[in-house]
Amino acid sequence: MQNLKVDESWGNASRQIVQAGQRMDQRGWVPATAGNLSCRLPDGRIAITRSGGHKGFLTDSDVIEITPDGVPVDPANRASAETLLHTQLYAHDPAIGAVLHGHSVAATILSMDEPSDAITLAGYEVLKVFEGQTTHDTSLELPLFHNDQDIARLATVVAPKLVDMRLGYLIRGHGVYVWGKDMFTALARLEGLEFLLACELARLQKKA
């Protein structure tokens, strides 16, 4: 019976990742094989998308198990090079149950054009999607980090600022990282943030 429950738990996690990947692909947030998705099971195991898979065509076999250090449990599997950014978040906060990373047009353009270290989002009703926000009459900052192919080094730059992050964070010319207590929450936060970034991009284009 215990093994049956374990298998059911893994099946649920895999299905959530597959469905979230399809939703992100439909919205153009994970072009080609970009992006990665993960979730933490109740027993502490971590499920994550296999490296190189198209997120719109994921199957259960494209979801692999990794250790808390980001190492595939099955050596034959290959996890994304950015796996460490997922495990960093799980280690930072035990309440985090899912992490999503996408590469939308709005996120990419805004991250490359913003001269400061953060994008400020203010006055939007959709800010209430994020925990602790009860009014549109507020502003939140989305931190920006320079892209780095050395993911371990990038993780050390991100780490000190995690405690103050309310929206997620954005890697310049790359994409966003968003998380939540479960997959539904993480996906809702991602959709909210992508909506806000699309609004910001449209406003900038209108001014041009």
Residue 69's CATH number: 3.40.225.10
Tell me: pLDDT of 10 over 50.
yes
Could you say which DSSP state residue 115 is in? Answer: -
Tell me: pLDDT of 4 over 70.
no
CB 74 within 8 A of CB 26: no
> Is 54 annotated in some ligand binding site?
no
Chain mean pLDDT for the chain: 93
Place of tokens 């719109």: 56
- Could you give the number of structural domains in the chain? 1
Cα–Cα dist 158/180, whole Å:
17
Tell me: pLDDT of 42 over 50.
yes
Lowest mean pLDDT among 111-115, 125-129, 174-178: 125-129
> Is 101 annotated in some ligand binding site?
yes
Cα–Cα dist 46/97, whole Å:
9
Instruction: Output the CA–CA distances (angstroms, integers) from residue 129 to 142, 143, 198, in the order listed.
Output: 14, 18, 16
Strands ordered across the beta sheet of 46-49: 63-66, 46-49, 36-40, 98-102, 175-180, 169-171, 139-145, 118-122
Q: Of 12 and 136, which is predicted with more confidence?
A: 12
Q: What percent of the chain has pLDDT over 70?
A: 97
Tell me: pLDDT of 65 over 90.
yes
* Helix or strand run (H / E) with residue 145: strand 139-145
User: What residues make up the domain containing 50?
Assistant: 2-207
Instruction: Please count the residues of the chain.
Output: 208
What pLDDT band is residue 1 in, cutting at 50, 70 and 90? very low
Cα–Cα dist 121/131, whole Å:
15
Instruction: Give the pLDDT mean for 34-51.
Output: 95
Q: Which pLDDT belongs to residue 6?
A: 57
